[in-house]
Amino acid sequence: MKRLIVTADDVGLERGMTAGAIRAHQQGIVTACSLVANGAELDDAVARLRDVPTLEVGAHLALVEERALTTGAPMPKNYIEFVLSRRRVDVERELRAQLDKLLATGLRITHLNGHQHLHMLPSVFAIVRRLADEHGIPYVRVVNDRGGRGGIARRASIGILSMLGRRVDRNRRTIGVMEAGHLTAERLVALFDHVDDMTELVTHPGINVRGYDWGYAWDEETNALCDPYVRAALDARGIRLVAPSTPETS
């Protein structure tokens, strides 16, 4: 059976991202969301998510862009700066602090992944996997992307991530990473042809997002995830929507 987890990332960074994830769950195909412990709007996100228990919550572990919980210092701007930085935080201490903060909210944490997919770096992935095992968290994202359109630089970076992912688990795959923030209904349906036994669709819905200049089409992606045409395409292909805690996803 073809099974698809649909995850909305970046919840808690900005209120519009949280609102988009919730709408895309209640009116669309999103089954899970990823919450940023050091996001500026974490408290708002936690309050909203408590009212939506059917939307599974995971930790979107951040080592770039935000401020470290353990030191209060700004993090590197992107994965390149992270790799080259001499100011790198104690990664395990920081990730533990982020996960502990989310667990302390009382929300059930069912999955782990990384902002800008930095958790796929082998040294970081080992820590994330260990944290998942310690806390009985059943699902850790493995980036192994299929389909999607992008320029040469984007394809190269996603290719490296996917190579790292295949070393972890060749049987898991992702879709949507290549076209992050630019998924339309038509592109989603095209990506469904790459859904295999277990696949995760990584999405970035949002509503009136103003605080981040990533060039993402948040509102359009939210609308696409709620489009009846997309749901019908899933049904036509026999794809079952699941969540990270569904037993066969672990």
Asked if residue 193 lies in contact with residue 160, where contact means CB atoms within 8 angstroms, the answer is no
How many CB atoms within 10 Å of residue 62? Answer: 26
- Which one-letter amino acid corresponds to residue 53? P
Six token digits for residue 41: 């709007």
How many CB atoms within 10 Å of residue 105? Answer: 18
- Residue 112's H or E segment, with its range, is strand 109-114
Q: Confidence band (pLDDT; 50, 70, 90) for 78?
A: confident
Q: Tell me the sheet residues that pair with 114.
A: 61
CATH architecture, domain 2-249: Alpha-Beta Barrel (3.20)
Whether 87 has a pLDDT exceeding 70, the answer reads no
How many CB atoms within 10 Å of residue 192? Answer: 19
Collect all residues with Cβ–Cβ distance below 8 Å to 228 and sequence separation of at least 6: none
Q: What is the dihedral of CA 75, 76, 77, 80, to 10 degrees?
A: -150
Whether 249 has a pLDDT exceeding 70, the answer reads no
What are the backbone angles phi and psi of residue 89, rounded to the nearest 5°?
Answer: -75, 165
Of the two residues 51 and 88, the one the predictor is more confident about is 51
Average pLDDT over the chain, rounded to an integer = 95
**Model pTM?**
0.95
Collect all residues with Cβ–Cβ distance below 8 Å to 145 and sequence separation of at least 6: 158, 161, 162, 165, 173, 174, 175, 176, 177, 178
Q: Confidence band (pLDDT; 50, 70, 90) for 248?
A: low
**Closest to 201 in 3D by CA, of 214, 216, 191:** 191
CA separation for the pair 114, 10 (Å, rounded): 10
Mean pLDDT of 156-184: 94
Q: How long is the chain?
A: 250
**Residue 83's pLDDT is what?**
82
